[in-house]
Amino acid sequence: MSEEKSLPPPNPEDISAGADYYSTTSDTPVAAPKPLGKECVGVSLVKVNLYRDFFEVVNGGMSSAVAAAITNPLDVLKIRMQVQGELQPPPGTNRSLLYDPAHPARALRAMVRADGLRALGAGAGAAVSYNFLMNGVRLGLYSTLERRGLIQHADGRVSVAASVFVSSLGGVVGAVVANPFFLVKTQLMTQSSAARAPTSQSVGFQHAHQNTLDAFRSLHSSHGLAGLYQGFSAAIPRIIGGSVSQLVSYSFIKDELEAQGVFPVDSLWTSFVGGFLSGFVVVAAVTPFDVVSVRLSNQPLDERGRGKVYRSYRDCVTKIVRSEGVSGLYKGAVPSYIRLGPQNLIQLLVWDYLNSISRDFCPEP
């Protein structure tokens, strides 16, 4: 077995050209597909890559957790809008909505009047945990493979097909790990004392959880491990749609901006505009999947763990369209962008920033 080599001193001319060099089983430097950051002279390539892979996962999780914490009030509003008037005809002129989708600021004030300021932080712990786990896997996997040049063409431009595959794979793995936290955050965010107001529309089934830990205990004691994966069938298309639309659109837009020379290379403005525009794509693609996922996650279950309102994903879509019209699948679209646009932007900006820092990290030899 050949002995693992350490990184040889790089050629200064190669460094100035932006190349990244390492040695594996020979003393001949080999060019990496994409620069990894500054040279880690005297450190094995395996060790360098393991440390940087770790940072990709942590950076993805941290960037998403920060964004989730900042936008939590809008997430609560979005989910309450998505479940209000569940399976009821659209309100006529003589019926008013508790959370008016055309006036998000007014809807926020109504939420605070009904439940106090604590409503703005409903489910925040579960939401931050969900986003850290979900996107640590999703963004971490994507960034790791992108850094190794596995989702680019030979000319360095992003391959759409490879991006779709990697985004989908990361989304599915992340969903398996993080679904219990999505379930708990959904049920906690839906809870509202306003549901008992005689003049309000229903805002979904009320689970009466005391907090995040109580929600986990209640779900597990009632239905075991399977109870923590309620609505999982809806999570897969939602997350795949979100992963593909976000990462592919962001990478494509960012590449085009750089190729056209709109902004300087590695400019924060490129990330800003890419994140802003990709937010529109995400909302348009994901809202119907998101509404179905929230409905399935929030519905009550019978003693055998079956949904009392919706029997399956298809049944949920059918009932929504029949009772609420196609527009029922787009409930919460306006607050979705008000929330998802900034969240997408914050997440990708923080992700890029953390990655730029960690690229220059070198472990001890």
Element (H, E) at 21: strand 21-22
In a domain, 11, yes or no: no
Q: Are strands 30-31 and 21-22 parallel, antiparallel or unpaired?
A: antiparallel
Closest-CA residue to 179 (of 70, 296, 278): 296
Provide Rg for the chain, Cα atoms: 23
Q: Would 28 be classed as within a structural domain? A: no
Structural domain span for residue 175:
49-358
Burial of 364 (0-12, 13-18, 19+ CB in 10 A): exposed
Tell me, yes or no, whether 1 lies in a domain.
no
16 is a domain residue:
no
The rounded distance, in Å, linking the Cα atoms of 352 and 347 is 9
For residue 6, is it within any domain? no
Q: What is the pLDDT of residue 24?
A: 35
Q: Residues 206, 122: contact at Cβ < 8 Å?
A: no
Residues in the chain predicted with pLDDT less than 50, given as ranges, are 1-37, 93-94, 197-199, 201-202, 365
Please give the pLDDT value at position 60.
83
- Asked whether residue 181 is assigned to any structural domain, the reply reads yes
pLDDT of residue 18: 33
- In this prediction, residue 246 carries a pLDDT of 73
Residue with tokens 């409930």: 331
Task: Indicate the length of the chain as a whole number.
Answer: 365
d(CA 194, CA 96): 14
| 129 within a domain of the structure (yes/no) | yes
Closest CA to 237 of 173, 286, 177, 299: 286
- CATH number for the domain spanning 183: value is 1.50.40.10
pLDDT recorded at residue 116: 85
Q: What is residue 96's predicted lDDT score, i.e. its pLDDT?
A: 64
Q: What is the tens place of the pLDDT at every residue in 211-250? A: 999 999 999 999 999 999 999 989 888 878 877 787 778 7
Count of structural domains within the chain: 1
Q: Give the dihedral of Cα atoms 287, 315, 307, 171; nearest 10 deg.
A: -40
Residue type, 201: Q
> Which residues does residue 31 pair with via DSSP β-bridges, in sequence order?
21
Contacts of 312 (CB under 8 A, 6+ apart): 233
Say if 86 falls within a structural domain.
yes
Residue 330: C-alpha distances to residues 12, 90, 230, 289, 335 (Å): 56, 12, 22, 9, 11
pLDDT at residue 25, as a whole number = 36
